[in-house]
Structure 1
């Protein structure tokens, strides 16, 4: 079974067995359910949860339970809610055995879960949580939940504003990732003696005020290549909206569109008026909703823009269904160059929203050995599950 390190070097076609993506997606769904019951979680907490499961025996319920509750930093007053939702989503669904084990040597552990803390405040009963879950299964989602799970090809132009607000909120989650680098901050958590002594020189050597530092927020360096061919028509507008949202929180990001030729979009992006910007892009990009030559366009990108936009800390995101009508040898040449230059290549394929999908198209099969992660991009929930890959 493949390891579950986020720096996975090669992607294999989806199989019936669970994969790293399924574990990441399950944690994202679990976190979303906790948020819907009033437990505040950040993207960093979700990443910590995924990493924590690599340190325990995932086949043992007690270890998974304690690892998730600790990594997600669940407040003691929310333990009862956490316990009930954990029971529903990790024990009663398909069982822990259906999820991948990130450790090669499995440890068998016995024992009961620690006793639940009884709180004086009222918390939802198990029947109430199950009733809420049953309503969700029956389609009783809130409008926001319905929008999150609505596929892009089902969305209309009337959904643009609501979708953009959700995409903006989604992109802002990237700002929760802290860097190892520390910066001066009055409300910091660590005293910086060097800056404190330097500051004391201005007042005769008296250390009146201590300089403090905190960890800087690390913003990812992203390059997005969006397929705007006819087969991507129902998805490309919303994926470009996602690119606009990322541009707001990651100013260094670059965006390109490709179909039968490559077009740089970065200078056209205007986060102030998203709807008109997307319509302007649709009119300005040559051969929008036309044919597609993925290999030729990516090769043009490597010839003209690779050294200017991609470096060792760049995450390259390709938004395409992989239905290439061009020469696969050109695509292979381009992917080899991209793999050598970029830190990580993520291929987002809307067709993966269908469980029956297999990457057997000529273009997708050619690119597969050179990408780090292959993930779905058919809905807002799918993009949310992919965000931890951008923040690591």
Structure 2
């Protein structure tokens, strides 16, 4: 909370009623709140008083927030409902940036659309399907060239999605696949055509008294590699990580999609193996148990230390047979860049392909100026964005292409030039 001036309640300031309405908004935004918590909150506020916003904010926070990922939504809804006397206009601006005179020069902040949507609950939103002119005459809009709702959702940033949009995105992610081409091996199998199998051909001839009647053929056996995912769950990556983990759950549970095994690790301030949790068929149960396992959600970031722990403790267990590694992080690390570069090099040498997925790449002005990003970039095979469904679809289309580098070379040239 940046400031704690005397509290101005919204119109009709009935304490119990306003707190109840506020709790309903939190519940619509995804925070599980029952009647017991509402009663506790009312009693807590009555006990602590509400002459200062500091006491009021933290009394409600203690009663309604139970997980780190709920803090952002709580803070946004609190700001919109309790702090701003024109909170309805701000809610409309967050949901509809350029509708009927309400103009915002920026995009909605993290969780702001979900907060606004929860408070409005669909009430008062203008009907955009039938626009009208100021004089009341109807305006016909040619929508033949507009994108469908699903296509628009594919290009929308995960961070800017509302609650309903995120639910639709998760359903789309559950249907997505990440196919991989098989890898040929030195072992062979019997085939109708291919290379001549000299040993089998000669053995068959010996059974015929040394006469060669027909040729035996063989072809190389194929196998599928492991997929190893290292996903950053620090505060700056929280929303993206949750969407990507939904995608990885679908990949790990897709039978016959190609991967031998899917190994998933999360890291923030420490490394956590969540592979066994993603094996659960129910995505909600899988992510709930994974979240309980990883205690550093929305915390700090120590990429170098976590990669060192992976290389030391897990690399030999999961990286055999030419595994493909997906490293999902924004690369914002304050540790020693030389140590980070060393661990990245070791990870790169252990993998068949190392693909770095970075949500910051969505910005056209992105440049590898941060020390962590500059240290990591030379040691990856491909550098791609991962901020939307469309970017994940592009990843699925090129993951089997050994010559795909994404934006790596372009950014390396920019790094050298700067």
- Return the TM-score normalized by structure 2: 0.51
Aligned to 2:91: none
1:140 to 137, 148, 165: 148
- The reply on whether 1:165 has 2:184 as its aligned counterpart is no
Q: Structure 1 residues 294 and 137, CA, compared in 2 at 3 Å: closer, same or farther? A: farther
Equivalent in the alignment of 1:228: 233
Are the counterparts in 2 of residues 196 and 207 from structure 1 also a CA contact under 8 Å?
no
Q: Deviations over 1:219-257 (max 9, x none)?
A: 233221100111111110121223334434313332110
Distance 1:158-1:379 versus aligned 2 partners, 3 A rule: closer
Is the contact made by 2:270 and 2:306 (CA closer than 8 Å) also made in structure 1? yes
Q: Which is higher, the Rg of structure 1 or of structure 2?
A: 2
SS at the partner of 1:156? Answer: helix
| TM-aligned CA deviation for residue 263 of structure 1 | 0.5
Deviations along 1:108-145, one digit per CA (max 9) or x if unpaired, are: xxxxxxxxxxxxxxxxxxxxxxxxxx97862236x3x4
Pairs within 5 Å for 1:161-310 = 161-166=171-176, 168=177, 171=178, 173-174=179-180, 176-177=181-182, 179=184, 184=189, 190=194, 218-247=223-252, 248=254, 249-310=258-319
Q: Give TM-score scaled by structure 1 length.
A: 0.54
Structure 2: distance between partners of 1:189 and 1:182: 16
- In the TM superposition, what is the alpha-carbon distance from 1:380 to its structure 2 partner? 2.6
Q: Does residue 1:360 correspond to 2:369, yes or no?
A: yes
Task: Write out aligned runs for 1:40-51 (5 A).
Answer: none
Contact 2:328 2:358 in 1 (8 A): yes
Unmatched tracts of structure 1, length 5 or more: 1-133
Q: Which runs of 5+ in 2 are unaligned?
A: 1-141, 403-418
Give yes or no for contact 1:182–1:213 (8 Å, CA) kept in 2: no
Report the counterpart of residue 151 of structure 1 in structure 2: 157
Report the CA distance between 1:377 and its aligned residue: 1.0
Does structure 1 retain, via aligned residues, the 8 Å contact 2:188–2:219? Answer: yes
Equivalent pairs counted in the alignment come to 251
Q: Any conservation in 2 of the 1:291–1:325 contact (CA below 8 Å)?
A: no
Cα shift readout 1:277-309 (whole Å, capped 9, x = no counterpart):
123212321111111111111122122222333
Contact kept in structure 2, 1:184 and 1:214, CA below 8 Å = yes
Q: 1:374 and 2:379 equivalent?
A: no
CA offset at residue 209 of structure 1?
11
Determine which structure has greater relative contact order: mean sequence separation of CA pairs < 8 Å that are 6+ residues apart, divided by chain length. 1
Give the 3 Å change call, closer, same or farther, for CA 152–214 of structure 1 in structure 2.
farther
1:390, distance to aligned residue in structure 2 (A): 3.9
Alpha-carbon offset, residue 147 of structure 1:
4.5
